[in-house]
Amino acid sequence: MRRSFVILVILVIFGGVAPAARAEPPQEDWTLWNNLYQRCLYNCGFDGCSRLGYKDVTYVTGGCVEGCRNGGPKDGGAAPDFDLGMKLTGWTCQTDCKYRCMHTLQTIRRSEGLPPAKYYGKWSFTRVFGVQEIVSTLASLANMGVHLWFIPSVYAAARNRTSATSAGPCGSAFARTWLVNAAINANAWLWSAVFHSRDTRWTEFMDYTSANLLMFSALYCVLVRTFELDNRRSAGLFFAFFAWLVSHVRMVNNPPDRSVESYRWEVNMRVMMTIAVAHWAIVLPWAYGCRLRRGGFGSGNRRRLSHPGRHSLALFAVLWHLAALAEVFDFPPIWGYLDSHALWHCGTPHCIWLWYRFLKEDLRWDGVAKKDQ
C-alpha cells in the first residue's frame, strides 16, 4: 500500500508539470511598438546606433558600432569593433542591432510604466561576453558536467556486467543501453548550452533534436530493461523508435500548419510529455516490485523483487520534476539574467547523482527470485 502511494504521488507531481505557461501580452496597441522596433532597426542599419526618438526623448542602447554603419561588412560577418566574445559566438551587425533595439524598446516601455515584452517569442536577456542567456548556459554546462563525471563509473559497471560469467537471469543486454543513454544525456545538455549561448536556426534545431533524442532514448531504455528484451527484440524496438524519432523531428521542423506560430512548440511538448509520463509509469512500478502480467521474457515461474535502487529512482523523479515546475511560471528575467527556464536548469544538477546511483545498483542486480524465496 505504501509503495503504491509513493508511486501515485510521484506521477501526480509529474502530471502537474504543464508546459511552460507563455505570458499573454498586455492588452495594448502592439502596432505602435512594432513600428518603433522597425524604425530602430532601420536607424541601426544606417549608422550603427540603436537610436529611437520617443516623446521628444532620444533613447539608445550600447552606444554606436562604427563597423555596422550602412549594414556592416559586406559578407554579413562580425564588425571589426565587436569584442572577442561576440566574434566567437557568431554575432553579426544585423543580430546585434536586433539585440540592442530590443533593449532600447524595453527602456522606453519602462519609462511608460509598461511591463517587459517578448521579442521573437523570447524575453530580452542581458548578454555576457557574447552569451545571450548566461545563467541557462552555465546551468546546462553544469548538468552536462555531472553526466560526464558519472559516465566512467557506468561504463565500468556495464563492462563488469557484460563480462561476468553469470549475469543473472536478467542477462546483460540492457547494460549497453544505460551507457548509451548517459552519453545522449550529456549530448543534450551540450546543445542546450550552445542554444542558450546563441539562438540561431541551427542551434535551435540541434537543441530540439537532442532533447527529442534524449526522451525517445529514455523510453526505449526503460522498455528494454523492464521487459528484459533480448538482442533481437531490442534491435526491432530500436528501429521502430528510430523511425518514430525521424518522423517526429521532420514534423516539428516542417509543420503542416505554418500559419500557426505555436504549432511546433505545442505538438512537440505534447509528444514529450506523453513519453515522459509513459517512462515513469513503466519504470516506477517495476522498480517497486509490481509484477508484469507475463513476468518478463524468459522469466518463467518467477516473481520480481523490489529494486535495490528504487528509492534513489523515486527521489530523483520527485526532485527533477519539482525543479521542472519552475517552467510553469514564465516571468521576465530578473536583472536581465534569471528567468523561469534558467531556474529549472539550475535546479537539476544536484539530483542527477541519484539517477546514476540507481543505474549502478541496476547493473549489479539480478532482479528476479524464485517464488519460494
Q: Which three cell numbers stand for residue 220?
A: 526505449
CB distance 178 to 154 below 8 Å: yes
User: Do both 324 and 244 map to the same domain?
Assistant: yes
pLDDT confidence of residue 209: 93
Per the DSSP assignment, residues forming a β-bridge with 51 are: 60
CB distance 333 to 131 below 8 Å: no
Question: Does residue 58 belong to any structural domain of this protein?
Answer: yes
Question: Does residue 84 belong to any structural domain of this protein?
Answer: yes
CB distance 284 to 314 below 8 Å: yes
What is the rounded end-to-end Cα distance, in angstroms, of the chain? 21
User: Do both 225 and 346 map to the same domain?
Assistant: yes
Helix (H, G, I), strand (E, B) or coil at 54: strand
Is 183 exposed, middle or buried, given 0-12, 13-18 or 19+ CB atoms closer than 10 A?
Answer: middle
Domain termination residue (choose one: 111, 146, 170): 111
Single out the residue of 102, 106, 103, 129 nearest to residue 197, CA to CA.
Answer: 129
Question: Does residue 170 belong to any structural domain of this protein?
Answer: yes
User: Do both 226 and 351 map to the same domain?
Assistant: yes
Question: Does residue 12 belong to any structural domain of this protein?
Answer: no
User: Do both 149 and 69 map to the same domain?
Assistant: no
Q: How far is CA 21 from CA 15, 24, 116, 217, in A?
A: 15, 9, 16, 26
Long-range contacts formed by 328-333: CB under 8 A, 24+ apart? 328/17, 328/18, 328/20, 328/21, 329/21, 330/20, 330/21, 330/22, 330/23, 331/23, 332/115, 332/116, 332/123, 333/123, 333/124, 333/125, 333/126
User: Do both 227 and 321 map to the same domain?
Assistant: yes
CB distance 349 to 146 below 8 Å: yes
User: Do both 225 and 313 map to the same domain?
Assistant: yes
User: Do both 152 and 216 map to the same domain?
Assistant: yes
CA–CA separation, 68 and 99 (whole Å): 13
User: Do both 176 and 305 map to the same domain?
Assistant: yes
| b/e map 203-215, b = 16+ CB within 10 Å | beebbbbbbbbbb
Question: Does residue 116 belong to any structural domain of this protein?
Answer: no
Question: Does residue 235 belong to any structural domain of this protein?
Answer: yes
pLDDT confidence of residue 261: 52
The type of residue at 322 is L
The total of structural domains in the chain comes to: 2
User: Do both 178 and 319 map to the same domain?
Assistant: yes
pLDDT confidence of residue 73: 83
Single out the residue of 104, 126, 116, 111 nearest to residue 59, CA to CA.
Answer: 104
CA–CA separation, 295 and 335 (whole Å): 55
CA–CA separation, 173 and 110 (whole Å): 59
User: Do both 169 and 210 map to the same domain?
Assistant: yes
Question: Does residue 332 belong to any structural domain of this protein?
Answer: yes
CB distance 62 to 52 below 8 Å: no
pLDDT confidence of residue 258: 52
**Strand 57-64 to 368-370 pairing:** unpaired
Which residues neighbour 290 within 8 Å (Cβ) at sequence distance 6 or greater? 304
Going residue by residue through the chain (373 aa), what tens digit of pLDDT does each one get?
455 444 444 444 444 444 433 334 445 667 888 888 999 999 888 888 888 888 888 888 888 888 888 878 877 778 888 889 999 998 998 999 999 999 999 999 898 888 888 887 788 899 999 999 999 999 999 999 999 999 999 888 888 877 654 444 445 667 888 999 999 999 999 999 999 999 988 999 999 999 999 999 999 999 999 888 888 888 899 999 999 999 888 888 776 555 455 556 777 888 888 999 999 999 999 998 765 444 444 444 455 568 888 999 999 999 998 988 887 788 888 888 998 899 999 999 999 999 999 999 988 886 544 343 3
State the residue range of the domain holding 193: 130-370
Question: Does residue 329 belong to any structural domain of this protein?
Answer: yes
pLDDT confidence of residue 348: 93
Single out the residue of 61, 64, 65, 63 nearest to residue 108, CA to CA.
Answer: 61
CA–CA separation, 66 and 100 (whole Å): 14
pTM over 0.85: no
CA–CA separation, 248 and 334 (whole Å): 35
User: Do both 266 and 332 map to the same domain?
Assistant: yes
User: Do both 48 and 145 map to the same domain?
Assistant: no
Helix ranges restricted to H, the chain: 2-15, 30-47, 84-88, 93-111, 134-163, 175-197, 201-226, 231-253, 263-287, 310-324, 340-346, 352-363
Per the DSSP assignment, residues forming a β-bridge with 122 are: 119
